[in-house]
Amino acid sequence: MSSSTATEVPQVHKDDVEVFSYDEQITRLFVLATVIWGVIGMLVGLLLALQLPFPEANLGEYLSFGRLRPLHTNAVIFAFAGNAIFAAVYYSTQRLCKTRMYSDWMSRFHFWGWQAIIVSAAITLPLGYTTSKEYAELEWPISIAIAVVWIVFAINFFATLKYRRVKHMYVALWFYIATIITVAVLHVGNNLAIPVGALESYPIYAGVQDAMVQWWYGHNAVAFFLTTPFLGLMYYFLPKAAERPVFSYRLSIVHFWSLIFIYIWAGPHHLIYTAVPEWAATLGMIFSVMLWMPSWGGMINGLFTLRGAWHKLRDSVVLKMFVVGITFYGMATFEGPALSVKSVNALTHYTDWTIGHVHSAALGWNGFMIFGMIYWLLPRLWRTPLWSDKLANAHFWVGTLGILIYVIAMYVSGVTQGLMWRAFDEAGRLMYPDFMETVVQVIPMYWARFIGGALYLAGTLMLVVNVIMTIRNAPATLPDAAQVSARKPVSLEASGDGAAVATAGGDGATPSPSVEEAKESSTTQDDGDDDDDDARPGTKRVQLPSPGDS
């Protein structure tokens, strides 16, 4: 940074304030990991999309469809979305709590441990070491490693909450809490197994029980890995980018509690008309339908946050990404309940519609929320303007087009399969008794899906270029900016009467005491943290003395 000389803090006695900083490097690491694994996960997905219409693309034992499919799902869920979640959590939690993460060491352990887990997945899955349980394919030693890393993450997170400087936890933190607790419970519950070799095991559950436990886990991996942390991300970054407070505080309470309570019940909708008891499948269906409302509570709270700010979409690729992401969230969470209704499920289950549904959520909701967040974070973390807004906009349009082509192709393919499988001729015999007829029929849709996926990946590569070029323009060193806080927690009552909190983002040598910094809005939820929203990349920052100095 331009100046790192110590400056005095006028009007505030140094004993009255604490000087601290946010760990920004950990967020940078997770952002970079997100981008790298995103490209790899999508490349594997594209290869799979090619293998279906063009089986010659099954490149031998280690790169055949069956072995690569779990690699694709694990890479995009746990590596791409996972690293993005951690980037969001580490960036926003520190600011929402006005404190550095409890332990830098734990943050690093989390980062490198998680990357090691991903690498071990990328090695073992093509070698055929898999439990076969969807999204829980990794064998027992890796499962244990996941649990250990997750627990370290949890300790680091909850200790940060404990030492926070802001009394009330903002809604994003509620969703992070639900994520961390539930993923731990699900992961341990579903992976209980007896090892029979270094990388082989049998689950302690069998048959119907195993199915129920697996989809209790599998569906809630969607809920608590791909939904709740992303809602937390939305609640933090969307108001930031829109510079508007969250639409409704009450709605955030109601939809948070109903969402986390109801989601858990929805698992058996993956098992409708199978050998699980009828009551379980019916419960799964009913709660899935109920889930529509809390899901849309989140969508409404997100979209309505933009009230009065819609014009900002024109110039902000971040907001465009967020709006499309949230819209796909709304569509996917309407589609999900619909697909879990028994009569609809009878048609769509086992077809490509499921794949379309998953990708409208994964590419639209998760992908675009991640991209929006990265485009917002890049200039802030690297303190350099984004290299190319045009390229970012091109990413947005190419990506959106890619999703639409992908999803529509899968809808057409899914309905075609469902109808052909059940069609009877006038004599009451199967119209298409040869399954192959139903396969050949949808191959053109597989090609369309390949094109949609390729477009989406092309958009992601544009992001990669923007990331690389932006970082190349960044300053050589990026020290964590100092933050200053009053030594005593600022209570609501005290706000407004000159709480002695100085901002580190001021220009020059006079950090001015800022009321806004200390105030916690009690009427609407504002964007939650106490960041200086006006601090833009390029603003000169002053390095304040660290607590040890002077």
Q: How far is the CB of 44 from other proteins (least distance, A)?
A: 13
Among 7, 25, 103, 354, binds other proteins (CB under 8 A): 354
The reply to whether 16 sits near other proteins by the rule CB under 8 A is: no
496 binds other proteins (CB under 8 A): no
**Between 203 and 505, CB nearer to other proteins:** 203
Residue 53 or 385: the one with the smaller Cβ distance to other proteins is 53
Binding status of residue 491 toward other proteins by CB under 8 A? no
Q: And the tokens for 463?
A: 């992001």
Q: Binding-site residue total for other proteins (CB under 8 A)? A: 102
User: Can you tell me the distance from the alpha carbon of 179 to that of 221, in angstroms, rounded to the nearest whole number?
Assistant: 9
Judge contact between 395 and 386, C-beta under 8 A: no
Determine if 444 is a binding residue for other proteins (CB under 8 A).
Answer: no
Site for other proteins in 166-185 (CB under 8 A): 167-170, 174, 177-178, 181-182, 185
Contacting residue, 112, 257, 310, 397, with other proteins by CB under 8 A: 257
Of 443, 444, 539, 547, which lies in the binding site for other proteins, with binding defined by CB under 8 A? 443
* Contact call for residue 516 and other proteins (CB under 8 A): no
Q: Kindly state whether residue 211 participates in binding other proteins, applying the rule CB under 8 A.
A: yes
Q: What is the dihedral of CA 179, 147, 45, 291, to 10 degrees?
A: -30
- Local structure of 280: helix, strand or coil: helix
290 is a site residue for other proteins (CB under 8 A): no
Taking the mean position of all CA atoms in its chain, how far away is CA 386?
A: 22
* Binders of other proteins in range 405-424 (CB under 8 A): 417, 421-424
Check if the beta carbon of residue 258 is closer than 8 Å to that of residue 297. Answer: yes
Alpha-carbon distances of 35 from 1, 362, 457, 476, rounded to whole Å: 26, 15, 11, 21
Q: Which is nearer to other proteins, 205 or 296 (CB)?
A: 205
Candidates 11-19, 427-435, 477-485, 498-506; binding stretch for other proteins (CB under 8 A): 427-435
Residue 270 touches other proteins, criterion: CB under 8 A? yes
> CB-wise, 148 or 196, nearer to other proteins?
196
Q: Is 480 in the site for other proteins (CB under 8 A)?
A: no
Is residue 425 within the footprint of other proteins (CB under 8 A)?
Answer: no
Q: Which of 50, 84, 85, 271 binds other proteins (CB under 8 A)?
A: 271
Return the residue of 104, 250, 509, 538 that touches other proteins, per CB under 8 A. 250
The dihedrals phi and psi of 20, each to the nearest 5 degrees, come to -145, 180
The binder of other proteins chosen from 1, 3, 11, 61 (CB under 8 A) = 61
Q: How far apart are CA 295 and CA 366, in angstroms?
A: 14
Structure tokens at 443: 């191959």
* Residue 205 sits in the site that holds other proteins (CB under 8 A): yes
Q: In terms of CB distance, is 216 or 406 closer to other proteins?
A: 216
Q: What are phi and psi of 200, to 5 degrees?
A: -140, 145
Strand partners, 486: 17
Q: How far apart are CA 286 and CA 275, in angstroms?
A: 18
Q: How far is CA 78 from CA 115, 327, 362, 476, in A?
A: 10, 23, 12, 31
Q: Does 203 bind other proteins (CB under 8 A)?
A: yes
Q: Determine the Cα–Cα distance for residues 518 and 496; give it in Å rounded to an integer.
A: 8
The alpha carbon of residue 510 and the mean position of all alpha carbons in its chain are separated, in whole angstroms, by 39
Q: Which is nearer to other proteins, 1 or 430 (CB)?
A: 430
* Residues 178 and 252 sit within 8 Å (Cβ to Cβ): no
x-marked contacts with other proteins along 113-142 as a string, rule CB under 8 A: ---------------xxxxxxx--------
Q: How big is the chain by its Cα radius of gyration, in Å?
A: 25
65, amino acid identity: F
**Which tokens in the block code for residue 298?**
């989140």
Q: In this complex, which beta carbon is closest to other proteins, that of residue 36 or of residue 283?
A: 283
